[in-house]
Amino acid sequence: MTEVGAPATGAQTAIERGAVWSRYWAQGALHSCATSYAGNYGGALATFWRGVFDALPSSARVLDIATGNGALPQLLLQCRPHDALRIDAVDLAAIDPPWLRALPAAQRARLHLHPGVAAEHLPFDDATFDLVVSQYGFEYADTGRAAAELRRVLRPDGRVAMVLHHAASRPATLAADEIAHIDWLCRPDGLLAAGARLLGPMARAATEAGRRALAADHGALADRERFNALQRELSQRLQEATCPDVLHETREALARLFEFAARRGEAAATAQWHALATHLADSRLRLAELRACALDEAALRSLAACIRPGAKAVFEPLREADWLMGWSMRIDPV
Ligand SMILES: C[S@@+](CC[C@H](N)C(=O)[O-])C[C@H]1O[C@@H](n2cnc3c(N)ncnc32)[C@H](O)[C@@H]1O
């Protein structure tokens, strides 16, 4: 991003983007870096946030923008389990994090989730919050309009702290690799389409008569040959991939679909195939958004100036072992 604006990922509307993220969060993930952090964010990210949260007054009001399944509120409640802090957390998506159900009632009462709320239209009064936070979230919005809203709801003596995507980070690099794999899988003549052509033959192969008919069906034999050739290509890609997960997952999902077709028939398997295609398209959109909103240093400076003109922003690259994971940014009152 070189200027403040909406992520340049294409023509998706806010409703479509919200639906993609809603489907993602409904699967129950706590955050979207599952390959980098099991459980909640740890290491350098958690250390940064503990520093921010430890400094809060005990009855502070905190806003988390683009909260997802609430990874940051969870961390805050863990850091300050007995304080009277109130946390509001908004997201464009229809979020309902499963971990909330296990939360003690006193902590649950302090966390207020606002699903379906855009950072560009915050439903809060002026000068409400002592601290506004966001993790891999604020940069997904139309940052010019979201910054105006953030300024409006932040108290004059309030603080801002964020973790943001870095254009040269490990997640951004992995996203590029994964997008290339999804594009390969989803080509019109790619593995996914070739798998769809085998659902009928797999269903027919469930009976002896079907197998005999298939042995003489040259179209089906050619489809099988094509699929096998793509499987060999996939094995080659797997050896060269930096982020092979989507290749492994799709290969396994297709194998399961073929078994399913043999048991339940072609129509049921085709419905499952469409679900797999939607899953891949959703992943591609999320990864493309990540890349489109990742910031270089100049873009980060202009974003900080837009959030709080004249204030001093402190930002640093966040590293986890050998990997660059993003930017940390803190903006204190002017
Ligand atoms: C990468 S996820 C990060 C979620 C969470 N902060 C975390 O660290 O796990 C990005 C989130 O931004 C949300 N989002 C995108 N555009 C938004 C907008 N304009 N307003 C509010 N949320 C938005 C998405 O729905 C998604 O949940």
DSSP string, 249-315: HHHHHHHHHHHHHHHH-HHHHHHHHHHHHHHHHHHHHHHHHHHHH-B-HHHHHHHHHHHSTTPPEEE
- pLDDT-derived band at 193, boundaries 50, 70, 90: very high
The pTM (predicted TM-score) of the whole model is: 0.91
- pLDDT-derived band at 9, boundaries 50, 70, 90: low
Q: How far apart are CA 182 and CA 152, in angstroms?
A: 40
Q: How far apart are CA 6 and CA 224, in angstroms?
A: 44
18 CA → ligand 1 middle, Å: 9
Pocket test for ligand 1, best of 62, 117, 121, 140 (most atoms within 8 A of CB): 140
Helix (H) or strand (E) holding 178: helix 170-185
133 CA → ligand 1 middle, Å: 12
Cα angle for residues 24, 48, 132 (degrees, 5° grid)? 65
Per residue in 224-269, pLDDT tens? 999 999 999 999 999 999 999 999 999 999 999 999 999 999 999 9
* Percent of the chain residues past pLDDT 90, beyond the cut: 87
Conformational region of residue 10, where left means phi above 0, alpha means psi within -120 to 50, and beta covers everything else: left
pLDDT at 8 over 60: no
| Residue ranges around ligand 1 (CB below 6 Å) | 21, 31-32, 66-68, 71-72, 90-93, 118-120, 135-137, 140-141
- pLDDT-derived band at 32, boundaries 50, 70, 90: confident
- List phi, psi (to 5°) of 189: -110, 25
327 CA → ligand 1 middle, Å: 16
For atom 26 of ligand 1, which residue has the closest CA? 68
Determine the average pLDDT of the residues in 3-22.
70
The ranges assigned to domains in the chain are 14-169+294-331, 171-288
Please tell me the predicted confidence (pLDDT) of residue 2.
29
Residue whose C-alpha is closest to residue 318's, from 174, 166, 176, 171:
166
249 CA → ligand 1 middle, Å: 24
Q: Ligand 1, closest atom to CA 141?
A: 19
Please tell me the predicted confidence (pLDDT) of residue 1.
30
User: In CATH, what is the architecture of 14-169+294-331?
Assistant: 3-Layer(aba) Sandwich (3.40)
Q: How far apart are CA 30 and CA 287, in angstroms?
A: 17
180 CA → ligand 1 middle, Å: 23
| Mean pLDDT score across all residues of the chain | 92
Determine the average pLDDT of the residues in 129-145.
97
The answer to whether 323 and 187 have CB atoms below 8 angstroms apart is no
91 CA → ligand 1 middle, Å: 6
Pocket test for ligand 1, best of 21, 36, 76 (most atoms within 8 A of CB): 21
237 CA → ligand 1 middle, Å: 31
Buried-state track 248-280, b at ≥16 Cβ within 10 A, e below 16: eebbebbeebbebbbeebbeebeebbeebbebb
3-state class of 215 per DSSP?
helix
For atom 8 of ligand 1, which residue has the closest CA? 135
Q: How far apart are CA 248 and CA 201, in angstroms?
A: 23
Q: Ligand 1, closest atom to CA 7?
A: 16
pLDDT at 45 over 60: yes
Q: Ligand 1, closest atom to CA 117?
A: 21
- pLDDT-derived band at 5, boundaries 50, 70, 90: very low
- pLDDT-derived band at 36, boundaries 50, 70, 90: low
92 CA → ligand 1 middle, Å: 7
